[in-house]
Amino acid sequence: MYGVQDIRDIFRRHADPEKAKILQRFFKTGKGEYGEGDVFLGIKVPDIRVVVRQYWKETSLEEATELLHSKYHEARLCALLILVARFNKIASDRDKVFKIYISNTKFINNWDLVDLTAGHIIGAYLEVKPKDLLYKFAKSNDLWQKRIAILATFYYIYKGESKETIKIAKMLLCDPNDLIHKAVGWMLREVGKRCDQKILTDFLDEHVNEMPRTMLRYAIERLDEKQRLHYLGKKL
């Protein structure tokens, strides 16, 4: 039987110190930065996905949770992707995976960890349930819970539904953090692309002067040049 120790051993063997240094700069792990203190092994995401495909069935939810508590970024990502796999493929695990996820958000503490998992677990789980948790996270003082809230709505956008994205975008409109500006702008852009461009332009018409410039730039990326210039010109 495989176990979480096998995964750790694989990661240790494939660790690349030079790649780790690059990743630690890229993910802003320095003092005062959003990823302060995060530690990387230097393993590429495609290689992590190979490990997930090989080990997800044999890795229990308890072991995945243990791996999620690792100090190493790649181990936490592996744990989260294992949880996504078990959520998608084992219906009886869904409640447990959801509870593990929301109980361990302090370990889901960089943007890639959120972006690759929030929609697949939180968004999917709450699809036919009340969305109170999303609003609670959107109001949180925790950067990553707020990003989870908006990224979870990507699941609904893929299904052509924009209501929750628009609600949470409004809640995060004046958030001070650039990572939230980017996330909200990205989701608004996807609403325009996958749902209805008029929903996006209606939002922009109402809120363009409240939106941080980064959020606006992300949101208008797929509009035509005339529209982009129009909204950039209206931004005070």
pLDDT in tens, 182-233: 999 999 999 999 999 999 999 999 999 999 999 999 999 999 999 999 999 9
The structural domains of the chain, ordered by start, are 1-108 (1.25.10.90), 117-236 (1.25.10.90)
Q: How far apart are CA 24 and CA 6, in angstroms?
A: 24
Band of pLDDT at residue 236, cut at 50, 70 and 90: low
The three-state secondary structure class of 72 is strand
- Burial class from Cβ neighbours inside 10 Å (0-12, 13-18, 19+) for residue 61 reads middle
Q: How far is CA 141 from the centre of its chain?
A: 17
pLDDT in tens, 98-135: 999 999 999 999 999 999 999 999 999 999 999 999 99
Q: What percent of the chain has pLDDT over 70?
A: 98
CA 209 → CA 86, 153, 177, 212, 236, distances in Å?
43, 24, 17, 8, 6
Q: Which of 193, 196, 236, 209 is nearest to 220 (CA)?
A: 193
Q: Which of 165, 229, 149, 161 is nearest to 194 (CA)?
A: 161
Mean pLDDT of 73-79: 98
pLDDT in tens, 2-25: 678 899 999 999 999 999 999 999
CA 163 → CA 129, 186, 214, distances in Å?
14, 15, 22
pLDDT at 89 over 70: yes
pLDDT at 1 over 60: no
Give residue for tokens 């078990």: 86
